[in-house]
Amino acid sequence: MSKQKITKSLKLAIWYAHDKKSGYDGIPISFRDMEIDHIIPERVLYHPREPDEFEKWKEKYKLDNNFKIHGIENICPSTRAFNLKKSDYGLYDETDVFKRYIINALIKSRQLKPKIEELNKKYKKEFDTRKIKTRISDINTIEQIIKKSNIDIKTIIELVEFPLDYNVITEIEEKRKYDKILEKYRTKRVVFFNYGEYLEIKDCIRYSYNNELGEETFWINLIDEFNEKIDYNVLRKKLFYEKAFAMFKTEKIWNSIEFELLKYFKSIRNEGNMEVLEQSANLFNIFSGEFQRNRVKSELSDVLEIREMLIDALDLKIQNSKTQSRIMQLKFRKLMLNFGIKQEDIKENNRNFNKDITNKAWADRIIHEFSEFTSLIEIPQYFDICQYYNLLKGLSEKIHIIENHNDFDNLFEKVTILKDRYNGNNSSIEDLMKRAIRIFRSGNYSRS
């Protein structure tokens, strides 16, 4: 996910400046399907493969020292399909297949920079003016009403006599709620800590992150302060999950909490709380991802041991669960835990790790486990089938080895039928058409 925020006005300016076409190969792109891509990968700033990687990119493409990764000269319109194929091949592919596309994009973006900047100013002014016009007639009235205590949205609608922008009302009310809670904790007016306070902190962490307030560190420190005062074990675990979530979302390195994290996982062995088990599965998937990025110090054996322990805890909960809905939720968490590389996937050739064979073994297992899980969903109302469908669709778009697997089409068809059965016929038709076009453009005509 890109760290650079591309505003709607800049995105529109880039699209029009490039004549609504890809900056790489000149193929027409709709605004809806367009992605803004960093020509020289943004990754080289944050996770370079070697210390001087950025310099090598600049040397290969004859870029001067003033070239900026986040500059307009390094972004262009592209398609998701091309981005997935291009990846890092501009530097690390000896065949230089993508070199001419990258050169074309760099030249175009540099030439179009003045036009893009001009269009961006124009569209930003239009968007700001439009936003003001939609709010000016009612914003003062709404603010005055919301200042009254215990006023809900329904009351506001009844009091205001002109058309309202409900998004504005909700935004103001949510900000008012957040500020009120923040003030309560900053002034240390909380003596006792219980489930209600946990929910407040949970909501505030997400509000701060989603609205880019940058106050996650305050909530992390607050959790550390309260954890020393809490006797209830389940509540302590839930608070730790929120702390880890906040640290992950703000790109904080997990080394500082790794010991605490391992202790947390070990405490789940006999856990019976459903929400804590689900949070533990989510936390492990993040932990596994941090391990693969070499951002934690744990050994592979530790990661595999934790996963097996969590799976055992889920299996025990599945055996003791009485409702089909809960059983399916737990089995889905178990499926997610198995998503990472397992010991059985790792293949060696003459005692050397074989990445290609290991990836294929992993893909075979994942497709098999997803197929088995799909066969269990006889009644989609027992399970969030839309979440499952979106997960599978997202995996196919991001991981080629999954989408190109021989059994994927059959699996995706079964899940699509289940989704249509729950949401109504043809609810997936738009996604299926997009997928067919994407596969067709990749050259796989028979599958599309």
Helix then strand count (H, E) for the chain reads 21, 4
Whole-number Å distance between alpha carbons of 392 and 428: 13
Are 168 and 139 in contact by the 8 Å Cβ rule? The answer is yes
Sign of the dihedral through C-alpha 417, 420, 425, 428: negative
H helical segments located in 187-257: 195-210, 216-227, 233-249
Whole-number Å distance between alpha carbons of 138 and 130: 14
* Beta carbons within 10 angstroms of residue 318's beta carbon: 16
Whole-number Å distance between alpha carbons of 188 and 357: 57
Whole-number Å distance between alpha carbons of 377 and 373: 7
Give, for all 448 residues of the chain, the pLDDT tens digit: 677 888 888 999 999 999 999 999 899 998 888 999 999 888 888 888 888 889 988 998 899 888 999 999 999 999 888 887 776 677 776 667 788 889 999 999 999 999 999 999 988 877 765 654 444 455 555 555 555 545 555 555 555 555 555 666 677 778 878 888 888 888 876 666 777 888 888 888 888 888 888 888 888 888 887 777 776 677 888 888 888 888 877 766 666 778 888 888 888 777 777 778 788 888 888 787 777 777 778 887 888 888 888 888 888 888 888 887 788 888 888 888 887 767 676 765 555 556 778 788 888 888 998 888 888 876 656 677 888 888 888 888 888 888 888 898 888 888 888 887 766 555 555 665 665 666 666 666 555 4
Are 435 and 396 in contact by the 8 Å Cβ rule? The answer is yes
Quick one: pLDDT at residue 111? 94
Are 271 and 277 in contact by the 8 Å Cβ rule? The answer is yes
Whole-number Å distance between alpha carbons of 205 and 230: 19
Helix pair angle (355-376, 324-337), 10° resolution:
180
Helix pair angle (324-337, 274-292), 10° resolution:
10
Which stretches does DSSP call E strand in 65-207? Answer: 75-78
Quick one: pLDDT at residue 379? 64
Are 25 and 101 in contact by the 8 Å Cβ rule? The answer is yes
Least Cα distance to 266 among 223, 298, 291, 225 occurs for 298
Whole-number Å distance between alpha carbons of 154 and 145: 12
For the chain, the domains span 8-136, 190-252
